[in-house]
Amino acid sequence: MVYITRIEHFNAAHKLYNPAWSREKNEEVFGKCANENWHGHNFELFVTLKGDPDPDTGFVYDVKKLSIIVKEHVIDKLDHKNLNVDVDFMKDKLCSIENLVIGIWNELTPHLPAGVQLHSLKLSETPRIFVEYYGN
């Protein structure tokens, strides 16, 4: 079993804000991330597949093909977008990277060919903050 990772990136605006709370409560919990006029990040997405190398190609899966799938179904929806406003699968969700990585998993998995196993997604918001998700 080999794990292979493709890294993609996107730049986006967001804010952390719970609409059920007052502005004061949001600022207390989310601090400067609650800025009503948004802030933004360079996000990096690590997509890790697992499997045995194919005897004919030596590949677990062609990462160029993986890149095309990830770009078409994930990155195009997120890059240079406002995550709270522009992204259908984040509608009515709190826009943390925890929720975003789950949303990306759910967007991506239906588009992977049969037999391709997604092992994990790692999503970084800054070089010092990242989350990992294994689909359960």
Partner 1 sequence: MNKKVAVYRKEHFNAAHRLNNPLWDEATNKQVFGKCNNPHFHGHNYELVIKVTGEPDPQTGYVMDMKLLSDIAQENVLERFDHKNLNDDTAEFKDLNPTAENIAIVIYNILREKIDMKFDLQIRLYETERNFVDYPA
Whether 95 is catalytic: no
Give the active site residue among 8, 27, 33, 73. Answer: 33
80 is a catalytic site residue: yes
- Sheet containing strand 39-51, edge to edge, reads 81-82, 2-14, 39-51, 117-126, 129-133
**DSSP per-residue letters across 58-107:** --SS-HHHHHHHHIIIIIHHHTTEETTTT-GGGTTS---HHHHHHHHHHH
Q: Residue 94 or residue 118: which is nearer to partner 1 going by CB? A: 94
Residue 35's H or E segment, with its range, is none
Taking the complex as a whole, how short is the minimal distance between the CB of residue 10 and partner 1, in angstroms?
9
The answer to whether residues 50 and 63 touch, using CB atoms and an 8 Å cutoff, is no
The nearest distance, CB 87 to partner 1, in angstroms, is 10
Residues that bind partner 1 (CB under 8 A): 9, 11-14, 32-33, 35, 37-42, 79-82, 85-86, 126-127
Pick between residue 52 and residue 88 the one whose CB is nearest to partner 1.
88
Q: In angstroms, what is the minimal distance from the CB of 25 to partner 1?
A: 18
Residue 14: active-site member: no
What residues act catalytically? Answer: 33, 80, 125
